[in-house]
Amino acid sequence: MRSSKPRSRSRTSRNRPSSGGNVVNRVFDSSGPEGKVRGTPQQVIDKYNQLARDAQLSNDRVATENFQQHAEHYLRLLSEAQREIEARREEQEARREEQERQNRERQAERDRERAERQEREAAAEAKDAAQSEVVDSGSESSSNLVETPESAPKKPARRSPARSRKPAAKKANDEVKSDGDADSGKAAAAE
């Protein structure tokens, strides 16, 4: 017996998820033998399983098989969606691990380059130091130190020309003279 409803001629079904869609949380409208069943795939599966148990209790084998087939259809959709999700998750994990590996390799390469650069700089400094030692050994001093006034060898202190003792003696004579003058003044006064 034919249904009075015209069939859709499009190749895609409204109940089938488009690729990349989130089937696990998507709400489906299922047209089953008892009417529409609406919900997520897990809810639809549970509803059809309940209807199959009810039909089995009423000894209706055809209805039981029909509900079980509907539940199986949504169970396949759900398991396929979960496999896709798991495959996407594994792919993302593999991509992340690959990126981490590449980052570690790049970091190791940068570390090697940095170490090589430091070695080259150390070698250049050693070479410059060796060249400066050669230049310094040819000069008067074998020390690499710059000579400062504090490090210069001590020379005997140069004395300023000594004053003759004559002025001191003269001063002493002047004192004697002044004493003598005083004495002579005293003598003259005494006279």
CB atoms within 10 A of CB 183: 12
In angstroms and rounded to an integer, the radius of gyration of the C-alpha atoms of the chain is: 58
Q: Is residue 179 part of a domain?
A: no
Pair 63, 32: CB distance under 8 Å? no
pTM, two decimal places: 0.43
> Can you give the pLDDT at residue 135?
61
Structural domain boundaries, residue 75: 28-100
Q: Is residue 90 part of a domain?
A: yes
Q: Is residue 85 part of a domain?
A: yes
Q: Is residue 167 part of a domain?
A: no
Packed helices 61-138 and 41-57: angle between N→C axes, nearest 10 degrees: 150
> Can you give the pLDDT at residue 93?
94
> Can you give the pLDDT at residue 27?
83
Identify the DSSP state of 12.
Answer: S
> 3-state class of 172 per DSSP?
helix
Range 49-60 burial, b when 16+ CB lie within 10 A, else e: bebbeebeeeee
Q: Is residue 5 part of a domain?
A: no
Q: Is residue 76 part of a domain?
A: yes
Count up the domains in the chain and report the number.
Answer: 1
- Backbone φ, ψ for residue 59 (5° rounding): 60, 35
Pair 17, 81: CB distance under 8 Å? yes
Q: What's the CA gap between 174 and 182, in Å, rounded?
A: 12
CB atoms within 10 A of CB 19: 6
- Walking along the chain (191 residues) 10 residues at a time, the average pLDDT comes out as 58 52 78 82 91 93 92 92 92 94 94 94 87 64 65 66 57 54 53 49
Q: Is residue 59 part of a domain?
A: yes
